[in-house]
């Protein structure tokens, strides 16, 4: 995905956790949206989840946070393990379990952790991969939220 690309449709979830399922239309026009790609086998992802939860709570009135579980191996396909880790790490935001990489491919994403910030109109404003730039993520997020 490139900056200013439109948010893809949220299709292909094997399971939604903490949600009955969301569509692109549910997100557009209301709040900015942060997609957080992660995997149960990624230790760097697990270290970043508390920060995602903090952003979720701090900006709850102006930001949707959607976690996307992107399996990296056959072991990562265990949905029960995904749900257990999500619960263990207090992920109360919607979790899209992307067993077949349908949403992952729509984002053209190859990495975990990875972060995509969309404005209220559903246009991509920031993307990054890796856990090292979470402070940069929040700076960009604040810019989208006019903070």
Domains in the chain, CATH or no CATH each = 15-144 (3.40.30.10)
How confident is residue 89, by pLDDT bands cut at 50, 70 and 90?
very high
pLDDT digits (tens, 9 = 90+) for 42-53: 999 999 999 999
DSSP for 26-77 reads HHTTTSEEEEEEE-TT-HHHHHHHHHHHHHHHHTTTTEEEEEEE---SGGGG
What would the mean pLDDT of 101-118 be, rounded to a whole number? Answer: 96
Mean pLDDT of the chain: 95
Higher pLDDT, 134 or 133: 134
End-to-end CA distance of the chain: 25
Query: What's the CA gap between 85 and 127, in Å, rounded?
Result: 24
Sign of torsion, CA 1 97 89 21? Answer: positive
Q: What percent of the chain stands above pLDDT 90?
A: 90
In this prediction, residue 78 carries a pLDDT of 95
What would the mean pLDDT of 27-52 be, rounded to a whole number? Answer: 95
What would the mean pLDDT of 81-87 be, rounded to a whole number? Answer: 96
pTM comes to 0.96
């Amino acid at each position: 995905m490139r900056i200013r690309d439109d948010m893809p449709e949220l299709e292909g979830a094997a399971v939604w956790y903490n949600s009955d399922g969301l569509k692109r239309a549910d997100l557009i026009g209301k709040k900015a949206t942060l997609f957080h790609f992660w995997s149960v086998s990624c230790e760097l992802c697990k270290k970043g989840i508390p920060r995602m939860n903090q952003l979720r709570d701090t900006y709850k009135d102006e930001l949707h946070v959607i976690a996307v579980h992107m399996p990296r191996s056959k072991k990562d396909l265990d949905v029960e393990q995904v749900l257990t880790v999500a619960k263990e790490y207090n992920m109360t935001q919607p979790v899209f379990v992307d067993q077949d990489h349908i949403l992952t491919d729509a984002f053209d994403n190859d990495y975990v952790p990875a972060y995509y910030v969309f404005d209220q109109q559903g246009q991509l404003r920031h993307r990054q991969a890796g856990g090292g730039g979470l402070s940069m993520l929040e700076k960009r997020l604040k810019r989208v939220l006019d903070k």
